[in-house]
Amino acid sequence: MRSMLKTSAAALAFFATATGGAFADGLTGDLKIFLDTSNPAPRATMEKMIADFQAENPDLNIETTVIDREAYKTQIRNFLTANAPDVATWYAANRMRPYVEAGLFEDVSDLWDGTEIGENLASTKGALTIDGKQWGVPYTYYQWGVYYRKDIFDELGLSEPTTWEEEKANCQKIIDAGKKCYTIGTKFLWTAGGWFDYLNMRTNGFDFHMDLLQGKEKWDSEKVRATFANWRELIDMGAFIDNHQTYSWQEALPFIVKGDAAAYLMGNFAVAPLRDAGLTDDQLDFYQFVEITPGIEMAEDAPTDTFHIPANAQNKDNAREFLKYVVSPDVQTWINDGKNLGQLPVNAKSSVDQDKFLEQGFEMLSTNSPGGVAQFFDRDAPAEMAKVAMEGMQEFMVKPDNLDKILARLDRSAKRIYKD
């Protein structure tokens, strides 16, 4: 489905609320925006934000096109090449790399200079950086981490772990109590990718992790083997639920709801179905994935949605002003609140709804993730490599003795895929 929304100052000014300061007062000319936020809530949020920007700039002619998200993915290269908009939504890190390398996204490093953006959005700067330059700005992200049954921890006398040894000690006590440490459903593979992300970033650091996913490091290396060795410690303990390869991530939820498993490594989108299943906030809590290698800075998975200026845009000055508006503290607070996107603002000076998981995630990503922000395995790696690698990870979780064959296969695949 594709729809067109033409925005006029007279029709939309009355919608304006105090969602941001006058960052671009008095703009004139045109601004053409393409959005992939086609689901009802994100669409309404983006259209309202654009209406507010319009109200601050009544002489600016804004034309907004909303494209179905899946259709957008197939159309983006074509519209960036011919008849490009001035602003377009997309994603950070490896998902933007093909368009950066093809010269289709504008360098916006100038926006990142100084405090207003460079420091306040520092947690995602790495994800927007290729070849030392920044190619867009973020407007929302969400945290990953360990969601756990606090009532079970309390019953067993456990506290939130901060080190790998504490994590394993907790796990052993949970197993001794007749429960599994972690629920997981690897039927659709990506959940195994989440475990690899954290284990590898905590074992070897963010830079090595990203180099591996970009084909600059070998899968059959001692560093990668160290990551899988840490993973195998949990597998050999019996930490994960049985037959996880037959469950989707949603089908794995009942194990933590019923108390058969104590924790779930997952994104914050799992909170709503866990609450819907009956868990209260007194029963459910959250902690940051623990340190494994001392001295390795903590990096997090926080998939980030972004705005970019196409290189072929006709109104780049207006587009830059719109991007500055999008990342301002008040606007980020408003678009991400529970009535709108229900996620996390990236600007460290923004605020979040009074929801303990959003508050913990915002604190973690804003102040306690100095190692960087990854976009998740299947966003940071090329699609074909992600599929092959996550198949290997699922196989490893079921048959860990196959590791040598798995890593050899991944190395062969990487040579072909990255060469192509």
The model's pTM: 0.85
Written as six digits, the tokens of 69 are 């998200």
Q: How much of the chain exceeds pLDDT 70, in percent?
A: 94
> Could you give the C-alpha distances from 150 to 263, 270, 407, in angstroms and in order?
9, 16, 37
Written as six digits, the tokens of 54 are 């319009």
Output helix, strand, coil percentages for the chain, rounded to the nearest 5: 50, 15, 35
Written as six digits, the tokens of 355 are 């929801």
Supply the pLDDT for residue 39: 87
- Show the domains of the chain with their CATH numbers: 2-142+303-350 (3.40.190.10), 144-301+376-419 (3.40.190.10)
Supply the pLDDT for residue 1: 35
Quick one: pLDDT band at residue 17, thresholds 50, 70, 90? very low
Asked if 158 and 249 count as a contact pair (C-beta separation under 8 A), the reply is no
Supply the pLDDT for residue 8: 41
- In three state form, how does the secondary structure of 345-397 look? CCCCCCCCCCCHHHHHHHHHHHHCCCCEEECCHHHHCCHHHHHHHHHHHHHHH
Q: How crowded is the C-beta side of 222, counted as CA atoms within 13 Å?
A: 0
**CA dihedral in degrees (177, 160, 181, 262; nearest 10)?**
80
Secondary structure class of 65 (helix, strand, coil): strand
Q: What is the mean pLDDT of residues 125-145?
A: 95
| Residue 165 neighbours by CB under 8 Å, 6+ apart | none
Quick one: pLDDT band at residue 369, thresholds 50, 70, 90? confident
**How far apart are alpha carbons 69 and 49 in whole angstroms?**
19
Supply the pLDDT for residue 25: 54
pLDDT digits (tens, 9 = 90+) for 68-100: 988 999 999 999 999 999 999 999 988 899 999
Here the contacts of 223-232 (C-beta below 8 Å, separation 24 or greater) are 224/200, 224/407, 225/403, 225/407, 227/196, 227/199, 227/200, 227/203, 228/396, 228/400, 228/403, 228/407, 230/164, 230/199, 230/203, 230/292, 231/195, 231/196, 231/199, 231/396, 231/397, 232/400, 232/403
Q: What is the mean pLDDT of residues 141-167?
A: 98
pLDDT digits (tens, 9 = 90+) for 23-64: 445 899 999 999 999 989 899 999 999 999 999 999 999 999
**Residue 400 reports pLDDT greater than 60:** yes
Supply the pLDDT for residue 195: 98
Quick one: pLDDT band at residue 3, thresholds 50, 70, 90? very low
pLDDT digits (tens, 9 = 90+) for 372-391: 889 999 989 988 999 999 99
Handedness of CA 267, 268, 271, 272 (dihedral sign): negative
**Residue 142 reports pLDDT greater than 70:** yes
> Could you give the C-alpha distances from 77 to 90, 130, 314, in angstroms and in order?
11, 19, 17
Task: Please return the burial class of 87, using the count of CB atoms within 10 Å of its CB with bins 0-12, 13-18 and 19+.
Answer: buried
Q: How much of the chain exceeds pLDDT 90, in percent?
A: 86
Higher pLDDT: 247 or 16? It is: 247
| Residue 240 neighbours by CB under 8 Å, 6+ apart | 180, 181, 182, 183, 184, 234, 397
Supply the pLDDT for residue 6: 44
Supply the pLDDT for residue 18: 39
| Residue 336 neighbours by CB under 8 Å, 6+ apart | 140, 342, 343, 344, 345, 350, 352
**How far apart are alpha carbons 94 and 303 in whole angstroms?**
11
**How far apart are alpha carbons 360 and 108 in whole angstroms?**
30
Supply the pLDDT for residue 330: 97
pLDDT digits (tens, 9 = 90+) for 278-316: 999 999 999 999 999 999 999 999 999 999 999 999 999
**Residue 122 reports pLDDT greater than 50:** yes
pLDDT digits (tens, 9 = 90+) for 313-343: 999 999 999 999 999 999 999 999 988 998 9
Strands 129-130, 87-91: parallel, antiparallel or unpaired by DSSP?
unpaired
pLDDT digits (tens, 9 = 90+) for 172-182: 999 999 999 99
Supply the pLDDT for residue 69: 87
pLDDT digits (tens, 9 = 90+) for 218-277: 999 999 999 999 999 999 999 999 999 999 999 999 999 999 999 999 999 999 999 999
